[in-house]
Chains A and B, each alone.
Chain A
């Protein structure tokens, strides 16, 4: 089976400083893929290249190819707006849209893009909130401000919001780092469900989390992809000694 996402010789620069070097990586449909490594290793930088978030950063530059279904998302003529619809993102801190209700947050991607049919929006909202394991907790308060939810609920709301536009890939940038252990557990549980409908690439600085939730793991170190493989194999018998040093907790 062809990989859903293929990175080929990806290099990322901030001005003159290179943050990621020569990364090649394949991601298959319906899997959870973890990117791990110490702070500043380039894992988040690489993740943000997958939905062209660096377009917003002055001075940031990406070279090489990132193929989504065989098409280079950095090719001239590719509309980043249409592309981002296929690649959703959940961020480090919960970031619901501050002026919107729970309902409006979930359907923002569709409603602001022009979908007006209330029944249709309601159906999407319920499906997405169920998908994010939040429906039961918020179904009575869909019209209250999203900022009134707890941190863990807000993060699941952000997941629901991303799911609502039905992305092929969901990027998660340390999605539980701002949450307490029980909220973290809920989101980790959720990921195994989510991979039935989408493909997940998750950045985490928590190795145990990577081991618990992911099918494949990629270990980054100072901008290099040191090792990539099935999660069990990478944690139990790492091939590179730097990977072994990291996963056994000798640094990082």
Chain B
């Protein structure tokens, strides 16, 4: 290395002391900024592990919550409820979202395109609690609190996220690939479904996982839709629990035991989101 550079003019030695000091200062500032970005995540993680790890045991995953003020119990109702509602909401949110993304990316000349884009953008800006109100008005007022109503609210939240990522990923597929398909005399819908969509599949899966991770932590839209349930319930027409709901209930409780359970729930939620994001990155790298 040094023999290779010694033959060349030594550019770096000309750096003045002032330049070097400035360089170091800027480097330090950037390092500080990076730490500030990472710090909240680390603080949350450390705090939750310290406060909640004691409650994470076999009971935590296999038992329902103990009555107020008593020790023991777990969050089985919330874990199953969250998984159940996320699965239900993605059936709806993912299908509608991908369809919307395909429409925006593949039919730019369609007269309805601008309105669909506007609707999707507005939908993305609607607060989660308002989405809960919509599901409340549509379903709860007619059929009562239910896991289904919660899943609908979460599904609405997923739609704009999935629409956006699907559109972006589809636009990354080269136009020449579409033209090649069309020049074989294939109709556009076949080109989209069988050639363009498979080429973008990795990115779309990433988008879906990020959307799942995003709505998995929502409590607000579930408060007056899924409502919560102290028992394990897998009937979508009945109230259902979810991790964010148990966290909310536990954290606002007067009892230490419930508070610890809430922190353990939060820890589980963050780990789940972390794992989902990691998986999403794996898929996106394959594209």
* Stretch from A22-30, A33-41, A90-98, A199-207 forming part of the interface with B: A90-98
- Asked if B184 and A161 make an inter-chain contact with CB atoms under 8 angstroms apart, the answer reads yes
Give min CB distance, B36 to chain A, whole Å: 40
- Asked if A165 and B184 make an inter-chain contact with CB atoms under 8 angstroms apart, the answer reads yes
- Asked if B176 and A84 make an inter-chain contact with CB atoms under 8 angstroms apart, the answer reads no
- Asked if A108 and B185 make an inter-chain contact with CB atoms under 8 angstroms apart, the answer reads no
> Most chain-A Cβ atoms within 10 A of its Cβ — which of B180, B182, B190?
B180
User: How many angstroms from the CA of A109 to the CA of B190 in the assembled complex?
Assistant: 10
Minimal Cβ-Cβ distance residue in B for A164: B184
Interface readout for A77-100 with B: 1 if CB under 8 Å, 0 if not?
000011111111101110101111
Q: Which B172-195 residues have a C-beta within 8 angstroms of A?
A: 173-187, 190, 194-195
SS class, residues of chain B in contact with chain A: helix
B251 at the binding interface (Cβ < 8 Å): no
Q: Specify which chain B residues have a CB less than 8 angstroms from the CB of A84 in the assembled complex.
A: 182-185
Q: Specify which chain A residues have a CB less than 8 angstroms from the CB of B195 in the assembled complex.
A: 97, 99-100, 108, 112
Give min CB distance, A47 to chain B, whole Å: 11
Minimal Cβ-Cβ distance residue in B for A170: B183
Total chain B interface residues with beta-carbon distance under 8 A = 23
Q: Specify which chain A residues have a CB less than 8 angstroms from the CB of B182 in the assembled complex.
A: 53, 56, 81, 84
B109 at the binding interface (Cβ < 8 Å): yes
User: How many angstroms from the CA of A86 to the CA of B176 in the assembled complex?
Assistant: 19
- Asked if A95 and B183 make an inter-chain contact with CB atoms under 8 angstroms apart, the answer reads no
B123 at the binding interface (Cβ < 8 Å): no
Q: Specify which chain B residues have a CB less than 8 angstroms from the CB of A92 in the assembled complex.
A: 176
A158 at the binding interface (Cβ < 8 Å): yes
Looking at the complex, which one of A88, A91, A164, A171 makes contact with B176 (CB distance below 8 Å)?
A: A91
- Asked if B185 and A162 make an inter-chain contact with CB atoms under 8 angstroms apart, the answer reads no
Minimal Cβ-Cβ distance residue in B for A91: B176
SS class, residues of chain A in contact with chain B: mixed
Looking at the complex, which one of B108, B185, B187, B199 makes contact with A58 (CB distance below 8 Å)?
A: B108
- Asked if A89 and B181 make an inter-chain contact with CB atoms under 8 angstroms apart, the answer reads no
- Asked if A109 and B176 make an inter-chain contact with CB atoms under 8 angstroms apart, the answer reads no
Looking at the complex, which one of B174, B183, B198 makes contact with A99 (CB distance below 8 Å)?
A: B198
A1 at the binding interface (Cβ < 8 Å): no
Give min CB distance, A237 to chain B, whole Å: 36
- Asked if B177 and A89 make an inter-chain contact with CB atoms under 8 angstroms apart, the answer reads no
User: How many angstroms from the CA of A83 to the CA of B174 in the assembled complex?
Assistant: 23
Looking at the complex, which one of A87, A112, A164, A171 makes contact with B186 (CB distance below 8 Å)?
A: A112
A51 at the binding interface (Cβ < 8 Å): yes
Q: Specify which chain B residues have a CB less than 8 angstroms from the CB of A83 in the assembled complex.
A: 185
- Asked if A112 and B183 make an inter-chain contact with CB atoms under 8 angstroms apart, the answer reads no
- Asked if B199 and A98 make an inter-chain contact with CB atoms under 8 angstroms apart, the answer reads yes
With contacts A93-B176, A95-B174, A97-B199 taken as known, whether A81 is within 8 angstroms of B187 at the C-beta atoms is yes
With contacts A93-B176, A98-B177, A112-B190 taken as known, whether A162 is within 8 angstroms of B199 at the C-beta atoms is no
- Asked if B183 and A89 make an inter-chain contact with CB atoms under 8 angstroms apart, the answer reads yes
Minimal Cβ-Cβ distance residue in B for A57: B109
Minimal Cβ-Cβ distance residue in B for A111: B194
User: How many angstroms from the CA of A53 to the CA of B190 in the assembled complex?
Assistant: 16
B interface residue numbers (CB < 8 A to A) = 108-109, 173-187, 190, 194-195, 198-199, 201
A interface residue numbers (CB < 8 A to B) = 51, 53, 56, 58, 81-89, 91-93, 95, 97-100, 108-109, 112-113, 158, 161-162, 164-165, 171
Given contacts A51-B183, A56-B178, A113-B186, 11 further A-B contacts (CB under 8 A): A53-B182, A81-B182, A82-B185, A85-B184, A87-B183, A88-B184, A92-B176, A98-B177, A109-B186, A112-B194, A161-B184
Name 6 A/B residue pairs within 8 A (Cβ), A-sorted: A84-B182, A87-B183, A97-B199, A108-B181, A112-B190, A161-B184
A-B pairs, 10 with minimum CB distance: A85-B185, A109-B184, A89-B183, A95-B176, A99-B198, A84-B185, A98-B199, A81-B187, A95-B180, A112-B194
